[in-house]
Structure 1
């Protein structure tokens, strides 16, 4: 508030000093941006750009809802929820992911605050655009879940869901920063990020304290080398998965929770999954068997036309 008052006062003073005559003038030129370059990024940027171009040409990475093609079905919505939220990808070996396993319901109980943090290779224009896009996404997720979800103001670092947009070299060297953001993070989790293979476009790790089913913090990593749509798709998937929809399912459609990459952005179907996940009738720690009848009941309320 003090800064705003100072700016306002300075503006008033300049008008008074000009004896009431307001003249238009061009805004001062913005200083040229001196971006840090990453020698490892050029090849990766070309690689991801080719993949995005190919996917879009094949009618993948769609940005529509797909709702007209797949009518909402309570039974299918409920089963997809159980597949996505009550199973989780598990780690096989030091870095790889292998299949998924039964899990319990995991979610946040405290308000979620996303914090965007960009490496020095990311331009001002990209930072501003991404902050705007993530802010819009956070509002949609908050409405769907009924849970307090927001994006921290631009340039601040206070939050519990950290989203790091990093180039290849920055990500490889991010271990110390990860340990600052998540005190007690183990070496394996750090290596998942610092040694992430190029086939992994982005990832999120959500953390629970004391082995519980309630998330306390999360870190998502987005590659700075991605073209715009791929980077936006990563935001949509990782920031939503980090709320507790932890797995993918072949039955999820229209959905971003499907490895076929048909949809790039979160759909109404996905928002319905989030609505189920944060319904107060469900509780952290519930097994699939215990949650199942409740999930089907909630789904029938979201798709009341199905008999």
Structure 2
């Protein structure tokens, strides 16, 4: 049977829940006492944006002078002077370490004068930890968020419908609050710290066209990139100040970027069509959890059509196809596989979208494993592991390594498989947090591997 046909049959198996007896039989191989200690990333690979300064200048303006809603901001705002950060509420595991690493990066990569202060001192930025359910009751669509002129959750709830927290009325930044959930996996806490503190300091918008940034609602990048740090460094450049309008910033920005990113001055800009509101609406509809699956799939199909008609043979078309593939797993495995393969081809053509491609590679590796193709599984995982490590995505890394472990076991390389599974579970403790969730993920992957002697 050809690999494509095998993968399609695997999609059918993966889209269904594993049989209870299969999971219970394999549960014994995962014991709570055997779980390794949590693994975390300790060294960050500093990167630089590989794009033209002309493009980056346009990105800066669109990020800094527009809200995510599309509403224009009249002036640039930033902190003027040293910035203090405090943390209040119950501090979850690893927050202190991840926050310290992030503040170090702000200082070294973005040149921002920022430091943490004790919780009992007033600060420019308050990071308050609240229960996820409480946070989402207030703002259902947000995993975490930042608001201006606020110091606490109670102050936010009193003023949430007032002009006080309107970014468009802000002349400069002095006091902000970041609200993050504490009862989520460590990686989710870290991701919230990166995105919300970056928005507290700089851009307030997200742009789907960006391939190398956390300021993109596709959520493939979860930690700040070299591009993001350049945007923040430019925001705090001495040539800029709070209160400048878009035209004033646009006039001096080329000079700022030549100084901060000289390599970008030598690169030719890419011409990319604008992202339409119609496409954004379809993507948001497709990803919306409160919509029926049939409607979500239809929205994803329309997003693919809009992207193709617009000539967007880039990450936006790939993301449309990725969404369609995910939503078609249980309904149309042929379409799911075709969508994933097309998206992988687009992502694979751009070095800036390696981690994007790795998310699809995880799906394809699982398909290859379940279809009895262990060598193909190993090749897919090995080709994508480095990009996932560079992106510091422990959840995705653990999944890839668990899939690889099962492929090794099917090749009678049991010792290697055991060592790799042990490593994968350490990453899973950071990526997924809860012990039961870690075990459930491992069991699901173990369950899709063909039984010894059953053939393919």
User: What is the TM-score normalised by the length of structure 1?
Assistant: 0.60
Check conservation: 1:205, 1:220, Cα contact below 8 A. yes
- The aligned counterpart of 1:160 is 124
The change in CA–CA distance for 1:248 and 1:218 in structure 2 (over 3 A counts) is same
User: Which whole-Å deviations, capped at 9, do the CAs of 1:173-228 have from their partners, x for residues lacking one?
Assistant: xxxxxxxxxxxxxxxxxxxx86121x31000012399x552111000100123222
- Which of residues 91, 113, 124 in structure 1 aligns to 2:84? 113
The structure carrying a bigger helix percent of its residues is 2
The change in CA–CA distance for 1:106 and 1:304 in structure 2 (over 3 A counts) is same
Report whether the alignment pairs 1:250 with 2:208.
Answer: yes
Shift of 1:65: 6.7
- The aligned counterpart of 1:196 is 139
Shift of 1:289: 1.2
Check conservation: 2:95, 2:186, Cα contact below 8 A. no
Shift of 1:271: 0.4
- The aligned counterpart of 2:60 is 81
User: Which whole-Å deviations, capped at 9, do the CAs of 1:215-255 have from their partners, x for residues lacking one?
Assistant: 11000100123222121111000011001211111233310
Shift of 1:283: 1.6
Number of aligned positions between the proteins:
207
The change in CA–CA distance for 1:217 and 1:246 in structure 2 (over 3 A counts) is same
Report whether the alignment pairs 1:103 with 2:45.
Answer: no
- The aligned counterpart of 1:151 is 116
Higher Rg of the two aligned structures: 2
Structure 1 unpaired stretches of 5+: 1-62, 90-97, 173-192
The 2-side partners of 1:212 and 1:200 are apart by 22
The 1-side partners of 2:95 and 2:65 are apart by 30
- The aligned counterpart of 1:224 is 182
The change in CA–CA distance for 1:288 and 1:115 in structure 2 (over 3 A counts) is same
Of structures 1 and 2, the one scoring higher in RCO (CA 8 A, sep 6+) is 1
Greater shift in the superposed pair: 262-271 or 136-145:
136-145
The 1-side partners of 2:101 and 2:115 are apart by 9
The structure carrying a bigger strand percent of its residues is 1
**Secondary structure of the structure 1 residue equivalent to 2:214:** coil
User: What is the TM-score normalised by the length of structure 2?
Assistant: 0.42
The 2-side partners of 1:113 and 1:257 are apart by 23
The 2-side partners of 1:299 and 1:251 are apart by 20
Structure 2 unpaired stretches of 5+: 1-42, 151-163, 267-456
- The aligned counterpart of 1:9 is none
The 2-side partners of 1:257 and 1:64 are apart by 19
Greater shift in the superposed pair: 76-85 or 102-111:
102-111
- Which of residues 190, 193, 205 in structure 1 aligns to 2:147? 205
Check conservation: 2:112, 2:233, Cα contact below 8 A. no
The 2-side partners of 1:102 and 1:230 are apart by 29
Shift of 1:300: 2.3
Q: What's the RMSD between the two structures over aligned residues?
A: 2.8
The 2-side partners of 1:66 and 1:77 are apart by 18
